[in-house]
């Protein structure tokens, strides 16, 4: 730089104090880099001294690297990396492969240090039970043939089971807390299960074994965890088998959510009956323009059909034509290229049919929007075809048995890492404080929860550090009836000064035996007003929904489609613009 002033301007530094703080931070970073480089060089030299054949082993695989990286020759590779001699080439390769080993060891040491801080072992494999690391007194878990094996007695007694051993035939007998008995012979994969007076067998994919030096029987942790109804996942970073008693944990959580679970397990709909469904929505958006006059647009949609259990068969349409025209008028014409205009026109009026097969998890959809999105850009699509998607994972659980406890558990622990249960604990405490049983007031025909402006202010301040003076209006009410009927209303008006434009949001919604409704309004000062009203009604019918399209229709799975990125990207861009 020509001057300190130029340097400060280029790095957005306003005072000399900021300049010297910046330089000090750069010097500290440089020192750390030098120290790290010295540690690397020391490690490299010690490793090569301890493994004299390593250089040759690298040279034996050197042809692969320039081929793997798609260079035409070794000479081409050397020229690209400015390597003039074979010696420089060899040094570069050795450093490249050694750096992988070096950082792998650094990460391993970091992992072990963190694991020890959490109560885990300093070496080997860890096992976590309901959020805590298990302290094995002698024999330790290990990996054999890609299976995590653990001492059976130490593990099973944690679950409350009794463990017996018949030395004559080396048979292990497990008496479980639910009354079942499981037994197996060491060295064999067959497990005999006795349950309610009946006997059957199941097969393990790896046989248990005894380590003579420890006199401990090892069993596969996943097989026995799942066999007794436990969740088991593998945290690869921390080299830890994470085991949890989901049933017990969920039950303990649900002890604090009897009221909210009445809403989760509503008795309003009989899953064994068929219902004629009518679902309607209508709304409007108004752009506020004090100079040229306000501009308003309405939208609507309606779907009708039949539902039965987790299956549904719906036909309907959505009319966004006025919204699209309003959007076109509001946008800079230069931002509306030909492709975007085509997408917007396709979104103006959407006709669709949808079928959800609750048994198979297959979701089918036919729509003119699909004909546009896929037919315009892909050779695999056929006009009028049905798109099939597998939603099995989303509907595999029985909603009638889904609770606040299971919802929180699955959302926090589905990733399988060791932090899942600690995140669950904090999430439960937060939700309990917001909508646990103690938050509700018992009424003659149900329970009521009310949050006033002061309650909102406390949350606003504690959760995001907001200023309570920003709140102009704030109230939330929820009423839950004995059989899961509910009504809810909310008003929130917020003025954060320059952070966000002042706005007011209001909603009320509810459901009784055969009808539900939701009304929402959003007003952003000097920008727009939006309103949305939705209703849904159910009527018992003898009809059954379709579970799949008729054989005369073409069905194309999402895997069969060659999705042209530009088509999908343009569609998403238009939807994002429309949402904004």
What are 125-178's pLDDT values in tens digits?
999 999 999 999 889 999 998 899 999 999 999 899 999 999 899 999 999 999
Burial readout 418-450 (b: 16 or more C-beta within 10 A, e: otherwise)? bebbeebeeebeebbeebbeebbeeeeebbebe
Residue-by-residue DSSP string for 283-309 = EEEEE--TTT--EEEEEEEEEEEEEET
CA dist 71 and 402 (Å) reads 56
Residue 504 main-chain phi, psi, to 5 deg: -135, 125
Of all helices (H) and strands (E), which one includes residue 515?
strand 515-524
Tokens representing 39?
A: 């540690």
With a cut of 60, say whether residue 578 has pLDDT above it. Answer: no
How confident is the model at residue 561, as a pLDDT?
67
pLDDT digits (tens, 9 = 90+) for 506-563: 999 999 878 999 999 999 998 999 999 999 999 999 999 999 999 999 898 877 765 4
Residue 101: half-sphere exposure toward Cβ, Cα within 13 Å: 15
Residue-by-residue DSSP string for 151-184 = EHHHHHHHTT-EEEEETTTTEEEEE-TTS-EEEE
Q: Please state which of the ranges 49-58, 266-275, 415-424, 511-520 shows the lowest mean pLDDT.
A: 266-275
Give residues with Cβ within 8 angstroms of 280, minimum separation 6: 300, 301, 302, 303, 534, 535, 536
Termini Cα distance of the chain: 44
Q: Give the residue among 451, 504, 505 at the shortest CA–CA distance from 476.
A: 451
Q: Token pair 């959007």 is at which residue?
A: 327
pLDDT band at 96 (very low <50, low <70, confident <90, very high): confident
Starting from the edge strand earliest in sequence, which strands make up the sheet with 240-244, in order?
132-133, 126-129, 240-244, 231-235
Tokens representing 559?
A: 């895997």
As a whole number, mean pLDDT of residues 375-392 equals 78
pLDDT band at 221 (very low <50, low <70, confident <90, very high): very high
Percent of the chain with pLDDT over 70: 93
pLDDT digits (tens, 9 = 90+) for 180-189: 999 999 999 9
How confident is the model at residue 67, as a pLDDT?
79
What is the DSSP-derived secondary structure letter of residue 141? -
pLDDT band at 253 (very low <50, low <70, confident <90, very high): very high
pLDDT band at 569 (very low <50, low <70, confident <90, very high): low
Q: Please state which of the ranges 31-35, 282-286, 336-340 shows the lowest mean pLDDT.
A: 336-340
As a whole number, mean pLDDT of residues 193-203 equals 93
How confident is the model at residue 140, as a pLDDT?
92
With a cut of 50, say whether residue 566 has pLDDT above it. Answer: no
Q: Please state which of the ranges 110-119, 330-339, 380-389 shows the lowest mean pLDDT.
A: 330-339
Q: Helix 420-435 to helix 246-254 angle, to the nearest 10 degrees?
A: 20
How confident is the model at residue 565, as a pLDDT?
45
What is the rounded average pLDDT for all residues in the chain?
Answer: 88
With a cut of 90, say whether residue 97 has pLDDT above it. Answer: no
- Name which residue leads in pLDDT, 266 or 71: 71
Report the DSSP beta bridge partners of residue 96.
Answer: none
The C-alpha angle 130, 257, 538, rounded to 5 degrees, equals: 120
What is the DSSP-derived secondary structure letter of residue 438? G
How confident is the model at residue 58, as a pLDDT?
78
pLDDT band at 268 (very low <50, low <70, confident <90, very high): confident
- With beta carbons less than 8 A apart as the criterion, state whether 364 and 390 touch: no
Tokens representing 9?
A: 């301007």
Give residues with Cβ within 8 angstroms of 101, minimum separation 6: 47
How confident is the model at residue 571, as a pLDDT?
54
How confident is the model at residue 564, as a pLDDT?
45
Tokens representing 375?
A: 């037919």
pLDDT digits (tens, 9 = 90+) for 439-489: 999 999 999 999 999 999 998 888 888 888 999 999 999 999 988 899 999
In this prediction the pTM is 0.73
pLDDT digits (tens, 9 = 90+) for 57-76: 877 766 667 777 888 888 88
Query: What are the CA-CA distances from residue 167 to residues 164, 217, 220 (Å)?
Result: 10, 12, 21
As a whole number, mean pLDDT of residues 81-87 equals 90
For 469, the 3-state DSSP assignment is helix
pLDDT digits (tens, 9 = 90+) for 313-366: 999 999 999 999 988 887 777 778 887 888 888 889 999 999 999 888 899 999
- Name which residue leads in pLDDT, 372 or 216: 216
């Amino acid at each position: 730089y020509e001057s300190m002033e130029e340097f400060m301007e280029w790095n957005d530094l306003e005072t000399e104090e900021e300049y010297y703080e910046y330089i000090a931070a750069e010097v500290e970073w440089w020192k750390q880099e030098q120290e790290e480089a010295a540690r690397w060089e020391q490690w490299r030299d010690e490793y090569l001294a301890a493994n004299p054949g390593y250089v040759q082993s690298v040279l034996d695989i050197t042809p692969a690297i320039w081929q793997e990286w798609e260079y035409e020759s070794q000479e081409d590779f050397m020229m690209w990396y400015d390597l003039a001699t074979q010696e420089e080439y060899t040094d570069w390769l050795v450093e490249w492969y050694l750096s992988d080993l070096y950082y792998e060891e650094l990460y391993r040491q970091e992992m072990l240090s963190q694991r020890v801080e959490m109560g885990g072992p300093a070496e080997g494999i860890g096992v976590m039970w309901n959020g805590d690391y298990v302290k094995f007194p002698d024999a330790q878990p290990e990996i054999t043939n890609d299976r995590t094996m653990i001492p059976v007695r130490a593990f099973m007694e944690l679950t409350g089971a009794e463990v017996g051993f018949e030395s004559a035939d080396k048979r292990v007998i497990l008496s479980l807390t639910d009354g079942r008995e499981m037994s197996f012979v060491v060295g064999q994969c067959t497990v005999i299960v006795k349950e309610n007076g009946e006997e059957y067998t199941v097969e393990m994919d790896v046989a248990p074994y005894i380590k003579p030096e420890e006199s401990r029987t090892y069993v596969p942790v996943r097989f026995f965890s799942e066999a007794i109804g436990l969740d088991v996942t593998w945290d690869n970073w921390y080299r830890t088998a994470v085991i949890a008693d989901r049933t017990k944990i969920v039950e303990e959580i649900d002890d604090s959510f009897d009221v909210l679970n009445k809403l989760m397990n509503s008795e309003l709909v009989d899953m064994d009956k068929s219902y004629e469904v009518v679902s309607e929505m209508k709304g409007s958006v108004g752009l506020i323009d004090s100079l040229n006059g306000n501009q308003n647009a309405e939208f609507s949609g309606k779907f009708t059909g039949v539902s039965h259990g987790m299956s549904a068969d719906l036909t309907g349409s959505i009319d966004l034509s006025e919204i699209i025209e309003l959007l076109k008028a509001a946008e800079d014409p230069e931002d509306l290229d030909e492709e975007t205009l085509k997408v917007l026109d396709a979104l103006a009026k959407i006709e669709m049919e949808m079928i959800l097969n609750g048994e198979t998890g297959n979701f089918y959809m036919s729509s003119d929007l699909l004909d546009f999105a896929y037919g315009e850009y892909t050779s695999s699509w056929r006009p009028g075809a049905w798109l099939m998607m597998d939603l099995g994972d989303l509907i595999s659980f029985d909603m009638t048995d889904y609770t606040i406890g299971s919802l929180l558990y699955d959302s926090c622990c589905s990733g399988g890492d060791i932090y899942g249960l600690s995140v669950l604990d904090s999430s439960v405490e937060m939700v309990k404080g917001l909508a646990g049983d103690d938050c509700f007031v018992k009424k003659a025909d149900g329970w009521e929860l009310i949050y006033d402006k002061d309650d909102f202010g406390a949350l606003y301040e504690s959760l995001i550090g907001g200023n309570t003076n920003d709140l102009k209006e704030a109230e939330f009410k929820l009423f839950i009836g004995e059989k899961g009927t509910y009504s809810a209303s909310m008003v929130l008006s917020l003025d954060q000064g320059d952070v966000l434009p002042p706005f007011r949001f209001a909603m009320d919604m509810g459901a009784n035996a055969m009808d539900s409704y939701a009304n929402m309004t959003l007003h952003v000062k000097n920008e727009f007003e939006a309103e949305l009203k939705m209703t849904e009604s159910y009527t018992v019918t003898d009809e059954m929904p379709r579970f799949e399209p008729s054989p005369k229709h073409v069905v194309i799975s999402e895997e069969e489609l060659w999705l042209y990125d530009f088509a999908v990207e343009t569609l998403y861009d238009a939807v994002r613009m429309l949402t904004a």
